[in-house]
Structure 1
Amino acid sequence: MADFTSSVSHGLLPHDNGHSMGVPSGDRKIKTLPASKERLTWQLLFVVVAVSFGTWFPIGYSYAVTNAPQAIIINWVRSVKCFRLGGSPTLLPSSNETEDLSEKHQADQDFTRKLWCETVPENEEHLLLAENTELNTIWAIVGAAIAGGAFVSLWSTNWWLGRFGSKNTMLINNGIGIVGTLLASLCVEAASYEMLIIGRFIWGLNIGIAVSVAPLYVTEISPTSLRGATGTFPGICLVSGSFVAIVLGLPQLLGTVELWPVIAWLRGVPAIIIFLTLPFCPESPRYLLLIKNRKIAARRALAFFRGTQNVDDELRTIQQEGEAMVANGLSKPVSIFGLLQDSFLRRVMAITTVVILCNQLSGISPITVYTTAIFANIGLGKLESLYGTVGFFLLQILAVLASMLLMERAGRRLLLIGGFSCTALCLFGMTLFTAIGKMGYLWSNYVSMVCAMIFIVVFNLGPAFIPWVLVSEMFPQSARGSAMTLVSAGCHLPNVSMTFLFPIVDALIGEYTFLIFGGILVAGTVYMYFNVIETKGKPLDSIQAELRQRFS
């Protein structure tokens, strides 16, 4: 970065033939390519799809993989525990086994083995967690393990980016995900639900890094007019991963006692895709020029993504971003501590943190993880709940595809604020109609389900993935890695808390849990109305200049 400081002072960038092109020292106006030149090339599309599928598809897949076969996995955990207690599923201990025990001790053992070993009728399976505190805790840990692992690893993101860059970080991180897949897939053979938990925790380690690096890379390689559209590709892959995991978990496919571990094995497919494609993709031109000062490599990478050698104007724009960083004292990579010390970056950090907290505390994580159970609790049968869950994730995919078209037309601010307002209303509706349904009005259960469906559509039209686009747009290059780390922390800390606490709180106050989420969204939306600016169609440096002028 120090070398870049000296190079920008001379205004030099390389041509293909090795000569230099001058940038007038007085020219500080940010230029953008004409809209006709900012097109989606096949090279850019290939890289964006490959990266999004290889990194964010496993995120959605991992979180939803236990959703449809939830009852089967819970009963498997019970059977493992039963054998460890010396029992056998469906059987209680014989009189010979207990004749030497005291009457109280024998009664305790009989009760414990019955709790873990007795077969439960299918229409009572939804009561298992409520009646068995230890089982409920184990299942909560299974659900929260991914978010816990992500929260641990996300703090290393800035180190990975600084040392290896986005491309190599994604390749190395891919190997971490494969280790988790092996452990989670072999848990049945090992008769160890602890192995399932550890495997999911390692998935979380992989996710904590991927969730920040992939959108950062996609934003940096995309032209200004396509940044919003390409920024939704990771989101499309995330909800597609959830949808595929749910469909595979149906009893007609892999959602059976014998086949459910295969669903975990299939998480390795995106890893193979990454290893086959990413080595042939260039590093981010912004990273190469602004951080590594590799001018020729940056030009080659940009020419690859744009499908033309005529990239001089865009290189000048990137160079001017570097000049702005130098002028604002941000020429060197900013640490997390440095991010909090700078008053401007601290203010931007506050805005993006509120946005991401509203994203995570909207209730989307528990709704995603426990969709089938939620539908069962509002009165739907087991098969109806599974089909409802499939429809739930199919709606997510359609909504995210629609958001790709709306992002560069309606703008980020409208989709964000309007989306959070509507989702708050949906949460209040779910609470009201579920409560009415418990009074005996069966029609209300289906209205509650419709509220959940509308919640998913509106959430994925904007609030779901705009926060990640905003972080990449609102921070200078030197601060994006640290900003992504802190925003990821703001994402995964509430995520692990909600995933772990939701089944427990839901057992205590039921549908009124969603009133908490709705209240948080109302407060957050008011804050965003007064602080979030529109970033649609603006060069990255112009966005930061506007923020500096507004908050100076």
Structure 2
Amino acid sequence: MKTALQELTQYWRLYLLTLVLGIGGSFQYGIQVSIMTSPAEHIQSFVNQTWLGRYEVPVGESTNTLIWSFIMSIFSLGGWAGAVHSGSLPVKHGRKKALLINNVVAIVAAVLMVLSRMAKSFEMILIGRFLYGYNVGLGLSVHLMYVGESSPKKLRGFLTLTCSIFIGLGKLVGQVVGIKELMGTDDMWPYVLAVSGLPAILQFLSLLWFPEAPRYLYIDKGDEDGCKKALQWLWQEDDLKLELEDMRKERESAQGEKAKTVLDVLRSRCVRWQLLALALPCAGVQFCGINALYFYAFDIFRESGIEEDKMRYLSIGIGATELITVTICAFVIDRAGRKKLMGFGYLMMGVVMSVLIVMLTIKDFYPWVPYFNIALIFSVICVYGLGPSGVSMCLPADLFLQAWRPSAYVVSGTINWLSLFLIGMLFPYIVDGLGQFCFLIFVAYCIFSAAFMLYFIPETKGKTMVEITEDFNKLNFKGMGTEIEKGDFVHATKF
């Protein structure tokens, strides 16, 4: 038996690959989500000055608000475009080359951000935000494909979950970089917006030294020798019989099949339950109420008597809490299992937010309530990091065979980015209409998702791709006769 230290030493190249992949789309997603709050007033002032210089009149308030909203929301549209291309670029060019191309997009975006003030063009910021969104949308999906297809099954959950760790780290770095003591000033805001170009350059240079994803080489390209060399280099193992046998079975199950399209994923009965198990959690990352919580956090901080200039440090504390809990999740996911962490995570989020609704209703009656509400916010962040935030990243790699996986990432990315766009556009109106009772919508979604995950979805922990497919086929083909149930599990992908 190998000790933990021996395993750590053995897989150090695989861990290094995971680090290199993480500093791309995942880390940059976290940065882009959190960094825009710091230079917001400086960018709006720049838009006003640019408008005044062009048209010799100040920009109208409604026009300025519209331009700012578009700067914020176009990131989601870019992310959707990147997610859509994650179904074709990694299949045609491979996971590694797709990421190399993707890094060039981020570098171009960073250059546009730096030059925007010099060129007196807020349109360059819009284009840069769209390109950043594209980079993140494609990078997140390919990161997960690459890691999932390069990892042994005993480490698959842990290593795919590092995507969430890097997102949390990116959020924290974005919050820290944007404080006034560092780069959150009127002179530095173009460079703040260009920060994501640095990890893109670093990933581009580092990836050149790593092999292509082994499962892609074997199953998609039929290159068994290339796959074996990649596995030996990454894992430093000579005995790869079990892994190669698992890939052989998966390749045989999809023999003669082309990569599936998004329409195939949406229409085919043989992945119907996998699609449901993917869609609810991916939408839940946005609809579980975490964005509402961040929105309400500053109001609750104010009610607690915290000074305005100190609130940013509390928000950094929230970001650090999410990062710590997602990291803990990475170490327990392969022991606790995806199903329990996600199902009970949604359940606990629903319960704590229900208590928060009550406390927000009586906040003016007792002086201690605002402080209790701060504790509730941190509690929800902890539960979110330990369950839904991290586990949802593992699902496409866990639930779908190779032929289906790229399109599954397109579906999950589309759901995630469109949900983010809808929340960004509609949430202010929901808050105006419902106040703190807006959390009731998220509570209902969390409870429903928890029930669905706990009662219907099989566990994927420690199972091969073919075994997971067999478990889901018992649901996909339920009631169609014992012949199908017993004989066609592996070959169901051909239906």
Q: Same fold (TM over 0.5)?
A: yes
- Report what 1:44 is aligned to: 14
SS of 2:36's equivalent in the other structure is: coil
Q: 1:391 to 1:79 in 2, by over 3 A?
A: farther
User: Aligned pair 1:408/2:334, yes or no?
Assistant: yes
Residue of structure 1 equivalent to 2:353: 427
1:156 maps onto 2:85 in alignment: yes
2:423 to 498, 504, 513: 498
> 1:251 aligned to 2:180?
yes
1:298 Cα shift?
0.8
| Distance in 2, Cα, partners of 1:401 & 1:333 | 33
Query: How far is the alpha carbon of 1:380 from its aligned partner?
Result: 4.3
Contact 1:187 1:195 in 2 (8 A): yes
Matching residue of 1:384 = 310
Distance 1:522 1:332, change over 3 A: same
Q: Out of 289, 297, 304, which is 1:363 matched to?
A: 289
Deviation of the 1:152 alpha carbon: 2.3
Aligned partner of 1:196 in structure 2 is: 125
Cα offsets for 1:115-143 (capped at 9, x unmatched): 96xxxxxxxxxxxxxxx554443333222
CA–CA distance in structure 2, aligned partners of residues 71 and 441 of structure 1:
35
Matched, 1:346 2:272: yes
Q: Mind listing any 5+ residue stretches in structure 1 that lack a counterpart?
A: 1-32, 88-112, 117-131
Following superposition, the deviation at residue 43 of structure 1 comes to: 0.9
CA offset digits 1:508-546 (Å, max 9, x no partner)? 443333322222222222222222211111112211111
CA distance in 2, matches of 1:191, 1:478: 47
Task: Extract unaligned runs of 5+ from structure 2.
Answer: 478-495
- Alignment map for 1:61-80 (pairs within 5 Å): 61-80=31-50
Q: Contact 1:154–1:489 at 8 Å: present in 2 too?
A: yes
Secondary structure, in 3 states, of the residue corresponding to 2:116? coil
The one of 304, 311, 324 aligned to 1:398: 324
Q: 2:168 aligns with which of 202, 223, 239?
A: 239
CA contact (8 A) 2:24 2:139 kept: no
Matched, 1:181 2:110: yes
1:501 aligns to what SS in structure 2?
A: helix
d(CA) in 2 for partners of 1:235, 1:244? 14
Residue pair 2:25, 2:138 contacting (<8 A) in 1 also: no
- State the alpha-carbon separation in 2 of the partners of residues 325 and 62 from structure 1: 38
Q: Which residues of 2 match residues 438-517 of structure 1 at below 5 A?
A: 439=364, 441=366, 443-517=368-442
Contact preservation (8 Å) 1:54, 1:274: yes
Q: Distance in 1 between matches of 2:43 and 2:298?
A: 13
Q: Distance in 1 between matches of 2:436 and 2:384?
A: 19
Aligned counterpart in structure 1 of residue 69 of structure 2, from 120, 140, 163 = 140
Q: Structure 2: how far apart are the matches of 1:381 and 1:338?
A: 54
**Per-residue deviation at 1:497?**
1.2
Question: Over residues 281-309 of structure 1, what are the superposed CA-to-partner deviations in whole Å (9 max), with x where a residue is unaligned?
Answer: 11111111111011111111111111122
**Identical pairs, percent:** 26
Measure, in 1, the Cα distance between the counterparts of 2:349 and 2:51. Answer: 40
Greater Cα radius of gyration, structure 1 or 2: 1
1:58 is aligned to 2:6 = no
Alignment partners' CA distance in 1, 2:386 and 2:45: 37
Query: Does the residue aligned with 1:406 lie in a helix, a strand or coil?
Result: helix
Say yes or no: does 1:262 pair with 2:188: no
Question: How many angstroms does 1:374 deviate by?
Answer: 7.4
3-state SS of 1:186 partner: helix
Q: Specify the SS of the correspondent of 1:478.
A: coil
Residue of structure 1 in register with 2:240 after alignment: 311
Counterpart AA for 1:294: D
User: Do the aligned partners of residues 323 and 497 (structure 1) sit closer, same or farther apart at CA in structure 2, a change above 3 Å counting?
Assistant: same
CA contact (8 A) 1:67 1:372 kept: no
Displacement of 1:507 in angstroms is: 4.1
- Cα RMSD of the aligned pairs, angstroms, is 2.6
The one-letter code of the counterpart of 1:346 is R
**Structure 1: how far apart are the matches of 2:379 and 2:262?**
38
Seen in structure 2, the aligned counterparts of structure 1 residues 477 and 180 have a Cα distance that, compared at 3 Å, is same
Q: Which amino acid aligns with 1:63?
A: V
Cα distance, 1:373 vs. partner? 7.2
**What SS does the aligned partner of 2:404 have?**
helix
Q: Is 1:332 matched with 2:258?
A: yes
Letter of the structure 2 residue corresponding to residue 436 of structure 1: I
Aligned equivalent of 1:285: 214
TM-score normalized by the length of structure 1: 0.80
CA contact (8 A) 2:325 2:382 kept: yes
SS at match of 2:182: coil
